Amino acid sequence: MKKKTLLSTTLVATFCLALQTSSSFADGHEVIEKVMKDYHKAPEGTDPLCKKVGAGAATEEELAKLLAGYQEMAKCEPPKGAKSSWETKNKALIDAVIAIQKKDPAGVSAYKQAVNCKNCHSVHKPD
Ligand code: HEC
C-alpha cells in the first residue's frame, strides 16, 4: 500500500492527462482507487484535496481535476452495492464541485456531505 501511494503521488500529473484523453475505462477498480488515493487520502502529514475543497480553499485548477476524477469514477461499475446508489452518490459529488466552481455558497457544505467517507464506503467499498 505504502509503495503504491508514493507511486500514485508521482503519477498524479500523468493521471490527469490520461483522464482527459481516454474515453473509456476497463478497470473501474483502478480508477476509483486512484481518485481515493489522489484526492481523498493524502500522504502522511499533508491534507488531501477533499479537505481543502471542504474548507473552500481549492483553486480552480484543483476543482477542475477533482471534477474530472469524479466524472470518470461515476462511469465505473461500483465494486459493491447497487449501481443506482453509486450514481446518486457520484452525482452529488459532481454537482457539489460544479456548484463550488460557480461560486454557489451552498457548494462547500453540499460537498462536505457528499464526500462523507463512511456513507459511501459502508455501501460500496468491498471489505
Ligand atoms: C462516492 C463514494 C465514496 C466516497 C464519498 C469515498 N470513497 Fe473511498 N472508496 C470508495 C470505493 C467504492 C472504494 C473501493 C475501491 C475498490 O476497491 O475498487 C474506496 C476505497 C478507498 C480507499 C482504499 C484505496 C485502495 O488502496 O484500495 C481509501 C484509502 C479511501 N477510499 C479513502 C476515502 C476517504 C478518506 C474518503 C472521505 C474523505 C472517501 N474514501 C470517500 C468510494 C468512496
Q: What is the tens place of the pLDDT at every residue in 104-127?
A: 999 999 999 999 999 999 999 998
Residue 41 has pLDDT above 60, yes or no: yes
> pLDDT value at position 28?
83
> pLDDT value at position 25?
43
| Residue type present at position 109 | S
> pLDDT value at position 13?
45
Q: What is the mean pLDDT of residues 75-80?
A: 94
Q: What is the tens place of the pLDDT at every residue in 3-28?
A: 565 555 544 444 544 544 444 444 68
15 neighbors 34 (Cβ within 8 angstroms): yes
Which of 3, 7, 36 for a ligand 1 pocket mutation test, highest count of atoms within 8 Å of Cβ? 36
